[in-house]
Amino acid sequence: MSLFSLVWNYLKARPLNTAINIVLLSLGIAVITILLLFNAQLEKKITESARGIDLVVGAKGSPLQLILCNIFHMDFPTGNIKLAEAEKISRNRLVKRAIPLALGDSYQTYRIVGTSREYADLYKVELSQGEWWNNVFDVTIGANAAELSGLKMDDKFASAHGLVSGGHSHDDHQYVVKGILKKSNTVLDNLILCNVESVWQLHEGGHEQMHHEFDSSFIPSRLVPSVASSDSTKEITSMLIQYRSPMGAIQLPRFVNSQSSLQAASPAFETARLFSILGVGVEILMAFAYVLIVISGLSIFIALYNSLKERRYDMAIMRSMGATRSKLFVSILLEGGTLTLLGSLIGLFMGHGVLVLLSMMMVETQKAGISGFVFYPQEWIILGGSLALGLICAILPAIQAYRVDISKILSGN
């Protein structure tokens, strides 16, 4: 026998009340847990995806769209820009690194990105099988893309135009899987990487000779060395830029935006803006969860308060058998604490469970890298907070138990 066993028996004796209190609290905790896990993982993912990229240069349009499309690969391109114009910017003394991106096609909703090897180096991704793309129509694919699309080494596939399945298929050109990347929990997990020339050939047709080794006036492009830097016919979707010095942050965006057809967007600024937009929805959901928790706290208080009326004889009898006032006080606190501890544990479990289910059922959740098997230190705060809530809700009933007048109750007055 222990005080906990006594408390547990009291909770079992009122199953409906106990269940309602636990369910109410666990729903609130589950919502908070889902938001915490989702927000924290998304923030981490976004931060990691934008790591090392100071500026994105693309066609004019929404700067947020430019960032979403070219860093997170979650939106459509704002348009194309001339390679020659991008080239000029890439040669600016404030630019340390410039990476071209050529978008437009996908395979089973996995985006095909024409780029340079520097793009993979940016995320320090390693190969799991095979090799990096070398020739036109060679691809190296991300871990998620390989797993979920079923593509294996040396598989051939035709891309579809656009980002949704069912787009116009480029059956005349087939990509070949030359390598598969290790899972990196970065945006590269969901991409199919190839060189920029592959994207150009696919859309322009023919087998244009890209190499100009014997042309003495040929100055190779810094972004796509197989074409001349002065080539005015080639286009790319965007260019990711890393500054050489902090001065770049001041001068370069202004310089780019002054070019009539180009736009520069800062990932740091736009992601902060994105979080503030998402934040409104998150705050509403959080408020809803807090309301649920407050209601459950009130419900626990009312349940304990009412049960005290029914249990005043029990309390008096226990005192007559030697129970101290403090033992009764602690037993009520323990009851409140047990209810909230159970509610919050179930809530945490439900929160993780929902994300596990979502990631099993929804490809988008898998692509976003949201997992239910991740634990954050803030969950201890949730657990501690709800335990404190239980104790606060139980304190008044506990004081009442402490003040029980045994003689008055037992004599029936």
Partner 1 sequence: MIQISNLSFSYAPQSTLRFPDVEVKKGENILLLGESGSGKTTLLHLMGGLLRQYSGSVKVDETELSTLSESSLDKFRGQKIGFIFQKNHLISALSVEKNLVMAPYLAGLPINEERIEQVLASLGLSEKRKSKVTELSQGQAQRVAIARAVLNKPSIIFADEPTSALDDKNCNKVIDLLLNVASQNQSTLIVATHDQRLKDKISNQLILY
The span of 86-94, 165-173, 288-296, 320-328 binding partner 1 (CB under 8 A) equals 320-328
Return left, alpha or beta for 150; rule: phi > 0 is left, psi -120 to 50 is alpha, else beta.
left
CB 32, min distance to partner 1, A: 32
Q: List beta partners, residue 175.
A: 157
411 binds partner 1 (CB under 8 A): yes
410 binds partner 1 (CB under 8 A): yes
Of 277 and 321, the one with the shorter C-beta distance to partner 1 is 321
Q: Which amino acid is at 406?
A: I
306 binds partner 1 (CB under 8 A): no
Of 222 and 325, the one with the shorter C-beta distance to partner 1 is 325
Q: Tell me which of 206, 246, 322, 377 binds partner 1, using CB under 8 A.
A: 322
Q: Tell me which of 249, 317, 387, 392 binds partner 1, using CB under 8 A.
A: 317
CB 313, min distance to partner 1, A: 5
Q: Among residues 3, 14, 32, which one has the least CA distance to residue 300?
A: 14
Handedness of CA 97, 103, 108, 109 (dihedral sign): positive
The span of 2-10, 68-76, 259-267, 289-297 binding partner 1 (CB under 8 A) equals 2-10
Structure-block tokens of residue 40? 């924290």
Of 313 and 375, the one with the shorter C-beta distance to partner 1 is 313
- C-alpha gyration radius of the chain: 31
Q: Tell me which of 12, 207, 254, 309 binds partner 1, using CB under 8 A.
A: 12
Of 217 and 413, the one with the shorter C-beta distance to partner 1 is 413
CB 359, min distance to partner 1, A: 42
319 binds partner 1 (CB under 8 A): yes
Helical ranges in 311-413 per DSSP H:
312-320, 325-361, 363-367, 378-402, 406-410
**Taking the chain, what is the end-to-end CA distance rounded to the nearest angstrom?**
31
Assign 3-class secondary structure to 39-79.
HHHHHHHHHHHCCCCCEEEEECCCHHHHHHHHCCCCCCCCC
Q: Tell me which of 321, 361, 373, 377 binds partner 1, using CB under 8 A.
A: 321
CB 406, min distance to partner 1, A: 5
Burial of 334 (0-12, 13-18, 19+ CB in 10 A): buried
CB 25, min distance to partner 1, A: 22
Contact 197, 231 (CB under 8 A): no
The span of 3-11, 223-231, 298-306, 395-403 binding partner 1 (CB under 8 A) equals 3-11
Q: Among residues 224, 228, 112, which one has the least CA distance to residue 162?
A: 112
CB 14, min distance to partner 1, A: 8
286 binds partner 1 (CB under 8 A): no
CB 396, min distance to partner 1, A: 21
Other Cβ atoms within 10 Å of 186 Cβ, number: 21
Q: Tell me which of 84, 191, 292, 316 binds partner 1, using CB under 8 A.
A: 316
348 binds partner 1 (CB under 8 A): no
Other Cβ atoms within 10 Å of 10 Cβ, number: 19
CB 309, min distance to partner 1, A: 14
Structure-block tokens of residue 291? 């309301």
123 binds partner 1 (CB under 8 A): no
**Count of residues engaged in binding partner 1, rule: CB under 8 A:** 27
- Rounded CA separation 114/73 (Å): 13
- Rounded CA separation 254/57 (Å): 11
Q: Among residues 34, 61, 214, 51, which one has the least CA distance to residue 124?
A: 51
By the criterion CB under 8 A, which residues form the site for partner 1? 1-2, 5-6, 9-10, 12-13, 313-314, 316-327, 406-407, 410-412
